[in-house]
Chain A
C-alpha cells in the first residue's frame, strides 16, 4: 500500500493527449494522425467501465446508506426523514447492543491470534527445504475453500455427535456444546475465522520475511543470541509494519463478521439471538418484504464509524511506536 503513495509522485506518465503536448505539430501531419494516435476521450474510455461500476454499486449505495439512515424507508416504501430517530431507537435496542458486543469481542479474540500465529507459520515454511511448496499450498487450502464449505465442515466437526466431541469423549473429557452454548459458539466461530485466515496472512508475512536481511540474523547469532532472542530483536522489528497491516486488515474484517456466525449459529444468531453480530443484524433487519431499510442503514453507519475508528486506532498505535 505504501508504494501507492510513493509512486504517485513519480513522473511515469506518458502524455499523449494533443492539448497536453506543448510543442507545435510538424507541418504535413494532419490532425487525423493525432486522432488515430489517440482520441481525446480515450483515457476516459479506459477508466469508464471501472468508474461506472464502482460509482453505481459502491459509492452511490454508500451515500444512499448515509441518507437512508435518517429515514424510515422500508423495502417497498420510500419513507420520510425522521432525523435521528433511528439512532435513538438503536440506543434502546437490546439486539443492537448484543451485536455490538459480539462484533467487538470478535475483534478482541481474533486479531491477536491472526497477528501472531501466521507469523510463526510463515517462519516455519520460510526455509527452502524439500516439499515446502506442498506444505505452503496445503496451508493455504482453508483460504481457498469457500466460507460456506468451511462453515459446514466445522458445524459437522463441532456437532454434538461430531468428530471433536467424539475425540473428547474417547479421551474421557466428555462432550461440550460447541454449537449450543452461547459463549462456546462464539469462541468456536472465532476459531474457524482464525483457522481460515492463517494461510492468507502467512503469505503476507512470508513476503515480509523475505526482505529481512540474512546478515542481521547471522550477526545476532554470532553475538550469541538464541532463537527466541533473535525472534524478538531481529524478526519482530523487521516485520513490525507488516504486523500493523495484518492487525488493521484482520480487525476490520473481524468487526464485520457475518458468514461464520451465520452458518454456525443459524440465521437467528444462536440461543435467543445472543450470538448475533452487527452485520447479521443488518441483514436480518434490512431484507425481506418488510425490511426496515432505514433502520438497517443506521446500523450500517455504526459499522462504518467503528471500522474507520479501528483503522485509525491501529495506524495511530503504529505511529506512536515510531516516535
Chain B
C-alpha cells in the first residue's frame, strides 16, 4: 500500500472515530463538570476545568440508580443463562436428534423469529397479567429468555459440527446427554459466546418491554430509571449525563473484554450465512 493511502486511511479512521465516540466523551465530560461550570458555553468547552465525581453521588441521591442497575444486572445475567441453556438444548434437538415433529418444531422457531415483537407487545402484556407476573422482574425476563433467533443460531452451529465425532461417541455407548455435554457443546463455544453477549446486551438495553411491564418505580431497570431521571430533572444535564455514564460503562467494559471472541464468532456465523 502506498504511503499516501495509509495516511488517508488513518485520517478517515480518526474522523469516523471522532464521530462515533465523540458523543460519549462529550457526555462523560458533561458528567464530570462541576456545579459552577457553564455547561452551555459557546464555543463549547470540551474539558471540565474542575473535574468532579460529585454528579455521580447526586444521581444516587435523586433516583436509586444502584438498585436500578442491580435490577438490570439480575435480568441480564438471568437472560444470559436461560438463553445459553435453552437455545443450546433446543438447537441441539433441532440439529442432531430425530423424532416425529422435528420439522414442525423448527418451523415454530422460524415463525417466532419472524413475529415483530413491537406488534405483539400489548398481547404479551395481557398474557403476563393473566399469569400474574406483570410489574415483576420475572415478567421482564420471561418473553425473551429463550429467543428463537438464538435457537436457530445454535442449530446452525451444531449442524456444522462434524457428524462423525458424535457417531463415534454413540458407538462407544455415550448417551444423548453425554454426547451433548461432552462433544457437541464444546465444539460450538464461539456461537455460545455470541449468544451470551447478545443476551446480555439485549436485556441490559431493552426499553419498550420493561417500560410497558413495570409500573412500580422500585422495580425499574436502569433504562426505565434513566428515562424517568431525564423526565424529572431535564434541567440538570450533569445528572442525566452521569446517569447515562453509569448505564453505559459496564457494557463498554464487558464488550472491550469480549470483543475478540465477539468479532470472531459473528464473523464465523455471518460467513456461513
Contacts and interface: CB of A to CB of B under 8 A. Distances in A.
Interface of A: 1-4, 7-8, 10, 12-17, 20, 36-38, 42-47, 49-51, 53-62, 64-65, 68, 121, 124-125, 127, 129, 133, 135-142, 144-149, 152-157, 159, 161, 163, 165-167, 169-170, 195, 198-199, 203-204, 206-208, 210-211, 252, 256, 258-259, 263, 279, 282-283, 286-287, 291, 293, 296-297, 300-301, 303-304, 307
A4 B95 CA distance: 10
Contact of A43 (B102, B146, B179, B226): B102
Interface stretch (B41-49, B58-66, B185-193): B41-49
B116 A207 contact: no
A68 to B, nearest CB: 7
Interface in B107-128: 108-112, 115-127
Given A139-B17, A148-B227, 7 more contacts: A47-B89, A58-B120, A64-B126, A170-B43, A203-B266, A256-B119, A307-B116
Contact of B176 (A37, A49, A62, A208): A37
B207 A148 contact: yes
Nearest to A54: B112
Interface string B217-233: 00000110011001000
B99 A44 contact: yes
Interface in B71-110: 82, 85-87, 89-90, 92-99, 102, 105-106, 108-110
B98 A17 contact: yes
Contacts of A60: 123, 127
B98 A13 contact: yes
A219 B95 CA distance: 41
A41 B210 CA distance: 36
Contacts of B3: none
Nearest to B223: A148
Contacts of B111: 59
A124 B9 contact: yes
A58 B151 CA distance: 14
Given A59-B111, A152-B226, A47 B256 contact: no
A88 B98 CA distance: 48
A304 to B, nearest CB: 5
B126 to A, nearest CB: 6
Scoring A2, A43, A149, A166 by chain B CB atoms within 10 A of each residue's CB, the highest score goes to A149
Interface of B: 1, 6, 9-10, 12-13, 16-17, 19-21, 23-24, 26-27, 30, 40-44, 82, 85-87, 89-90, 92-99, 102, 105-106, 108-112, 115-127, 142-143, 145-146, 148, 151-152, 155-156, 159-160, 163, 166-167, 170, 173, 175-177, 179-180, 201, 204-205, 207-208, 211-212, 222-223, 226-227, 230, 237, 240-241, 243-244, 247-248, 251-252, 255-256, 259, 263, 266-267, 270-273
B122 A293 contact: yes
Contact of B251 (A13, A50, A144): A144
B43 to A, nearest CB: 4
A230 to B, nearest CB: 14
7 contacts: A13-B97, A61-B120, A64-B127, A141-B255, A145-B248, A210-B271, A304-B119
